[in-house]
A and B are shown apart, each in its own frame.
Chain A
Amino acid sequence: MDHNATSATNTGSAVTGGHIHPPPDTFIKKYVFSLDHKVIAVQYFITGGLFFILAGLLAELMRAQLSGPNNHVLSVATYNQAYSVHGSAMVWLVIIPLLTGGFGNLVMPLQIGARDVAFPWLNMISFWLFPPAGILLFASFLYGAPEAGWTEYPPITLQMPFGTSMWCLAIFLIGISATITGLNFLVTIVKMRAPGMTYTRMPLFVWATATTAFLSMIATANLSAALAGLFIARTFHVPFYDVAKGGAPVLWQHVFWFYSHPAVYIMILPAFGLVSEIIPTFVRRPIFGYKMIAYSSAAIGLLSFMVWAHHMFTSGLEHWEQFLFMILTMTIAVPTGIKVFSWVATLWGGKIRLDSPLLFVLGFLSTFTFGGFTGILLASVPVDIHEHASYFVVAHLHYVLFGGSVFGIFAGMYYWWPKMTGRLLDERLAKWHFWLMFISFNATFLPMHWIGLLGMPRRVATYDPVYASTNLFVSISAFVLGASMLLFLYNALRSARKGEVAGPNPWGARTLEWMIPSPAPYYNFKDIPIVLSGPYDYGKPLPYANISQELATVPMH
Chain B
Amino acid sequence: MRQERSGPLLDAGFWRAVIVMGIISAVLMYVVVVFPITRFLPEASSVSVPIDKLFRFCWFFGVPILVYVNGMMIYFAIRYRHRPDDPMDAVGSQIHDNRALEAAWTIGPAVLMVALAVFSYFIIPMYYPTGQAAASAVTMEAIGHKWYFEFRYPGLKQSVMNVMHLPVGVPVTLDITSAEATDDVLTGAVLHSFWVPEFRLKQDMIPGMVVPIHFTPTEVGTYRIICSEFCGQGHSHMWGSVVVDSKPDFDRWYAAQQHAAAAPAAAINLAGGDAAAGQTLFNAKCTVCHNAAPFAQRKVGPGLAGLFNDPAHPNLVNGQKATPQNVAGILQHGAHGTMGVMPDMQANGLTPSDIANLVAFLKTLH
Contacts and interface: CB of A to CB of B under 8 A. Distances in A.
A28 B189 CA distance: 51
A153 B51 CA distance: 28
Nearest to A350: B92
B190 A156 contact: yes
Interface string B167-199: 000000000000010011111111101010100
Interface string B31-46: 0000000001100000
A344 B102 contact: no
A153 B230 contact: yes
A345 B92 CA distance: 12
A161 to B, nearest CB: 12
A344 B96 CA distance: 13
B195 A457 contact: yes
Contacts of B186: 155, 158-159, 237, 242
Contacts of B92: 283-285, 349-352, 538
B232 A388 contact: no
A349 B93 contact: yes
B202 interface: yes
A314 B237 CA distance: 21
A550 B344 CA distance: 89
A460 interface: yes
A347 interface: yes
B233 interface: yes
B113 A316 contact: no
B319 interface: no
A350 B80 contact: yes
Contact of B121 (A245, A323, A345): A323
A333 interface: yes
B97 A290 contact: yes
Contact of B288 (A244, A352, A458): A244
B66 A354 contact: no
Nearest to B190: A156
Interface in A386-443: 386, 388-390
Contacts of A80: 230
B51 A382 contact: yes
A520 B83 CA distance: 32
A362 B72 CA distance: 11
Contacts, number: 277
Interface stretch (B19-27, B103-111, B131-139, B306-314): B103-111
B104 to A, nearest CB: 9
A330 B117 contact: yes
B124 A323 contact: yes
Contacts of B187: 159
B236 A76 contact: yes
B204 A351 contact: no
A218 B69 CA distance: 34
Interface stretch (B220-228, B248-256, B324-332, B356-364): B220-228
B88 interface: yes
Interface in B244-300: 287-288
Nearest to B208: A243
Contacts of A538: 91-92
B65 interface: yes
B125 interface: yes
Contacts of A51: none
B204 A453 contact: no
Contact of B41 (A76, A315, A455): A455
Contacts of B231: 156
Interface in A119-160: 147-149, 153-156, 158-159
B195 A249 contact: no
Contact of B105 (A314, A327, A338): A338
Contact of A352 (B82, B124, B206, B236): B82
Contact of B80 (A156, A159, A351): A351
A365 B69 contact: yes
B69 A382 contact: no
Interface stretch (A270-278, A368-376, A478-486): A368-376
A383 interface: yes
Contacts of B237: 462
Contacts of A352: 76-77, 80-82, 92
Which 10 A/B pairs are nearest by Cβ-Cβ distance? A243-B208, A285-B92, A349-B93, A350-B92, A455-B197, A347-B76, A539-B91, A457-B228, A242-B185, A460-B236
Interface of A: 76-77, 80, 147-149, 153-156, 158-159, 237, 239, 241-245, 247-250, 283-286, 288-292, 314-316, 319, 322-323, 326-327, 330-331, 333-334, 337-338, 340-342, 344-345, 347-354, 362, 365-366, 369-370, 373, 376-377, 380-383, 385-386, 388-390, 453-455, 457-464, 508, 537-539, 553-555
